[in-house]
Amino acid sequence: MQNFELHIKNMVCPRCIKAVRAVLEREGLSVQDVQLGKAVLNGQPDSEQLQAVAAALEQEGLPLVDDRKQQLVEAVKNIIIATIHHSPLNEMRENFSTLLSRQLHKDYHYLSSLFSEIEQLTIEQYIIQQKIERVKELLVYDELNLSEIAYQLGYSSVAHLSGQFKKVTGLTPSRFKQMKEHRRRPLDAI
């Protein structure tokens, strides 16, 4: 029996993985693995099952991605999200361009051009947006000070983090922290 891969947009966290697994199992499919952006099934679903899965995932805000180029862009996003939101960047031993090229087995210039063409922003801009959302999250949790956040996210200094934060949000980190309503964006909306 041959494996069948489904590529899924907007998967950004462990809850998305659980939701996808639940949909697939509810449709009676044998699930081998579910990761950010992808599910691997044991065997190929028939067209009726595939349509039911597509509709159910769409309702969850997790549409299937059929286009190869879009799948590659989603893979880039998933690697960036997983790296920024689920692992300490201060322990990262390679830059994002090397990481993306190595994991996707593609030339970084090709990935960069394709990403910009489809998303209308550069990979670097996307990384910055994700890092700023992570900073917002850590500020709201109030467990780390700004120096610790800067270190954990691989910034060279607190000044660099603060400058980038203000450029993206229009607020300083301390002003953001003081606000009652923290304006965080869902990761799949970035």
CATH, residue 38: 3.30.70.100
Residues 21 and 75 in one domain: no
Residues 82 and 137 in one domain: yes
pTM assigned to the model: 0.78
Q: Is the pLDDT of residue 186 over 70?
A: no
Residues 32 and 90 in one domain: no
Rounded to whole angstroms, the Cα distance separating 117 from 11 reads 21
Note the pLDDT of residue 12.
82
Report yes or no: 99 and 75 within 8 Å, Cβ to Cβ. Answer: no
For residue 8 the two structure tokens come to 């899924």
Place of tokens 């997983």: 82
CATH, residue 94: 1.10.10.60
Q: Is the pLDDT of residue 183 over 80?
A: no
Residues 95 and 179 in one domain: yes
Residues 71 and 49 in one domain: no
Query: Tens of pLDDT along 70-127?
Result: 999 999 999 999 999 888 777 777 899 999 999 999 999 999 999 999 999 999 999 9
Contacts of 81 (CB under 8 A, 6+ apart): 12, 36, 130, 187
Residues 53 and 72 in one domain: no
Residues 109 and 148 in one domain: yes
Note the pLDDT of residue 118.
93
Among candidate residues 59, 80, 104, the one where a domain is terminated? 59
Note the pLDDT of residue 26.
94
Residues 90 and 156 in one domain: yes
Residues 89 and 181 in one domain: yes
Report yes or no: 135 and 165 within 8 Å, Cβ to Cβ. Answer: yes
Residues 97 and 147 in one domain: yes
Considering its fold, how many domains does the chain have in total? 2
Owning domain of residue 31: 3-59
56: how many CB neighbours lie within 10 A of its CB? 17
Nearest CA among 79, 118, 82 for reference residue 102: 79
The percentage of residues in the chain with a pLDDT greater than 70, rounded to a whole number, is: 93
Backbone phi, psi, residue 3, to 5°: -70, 155
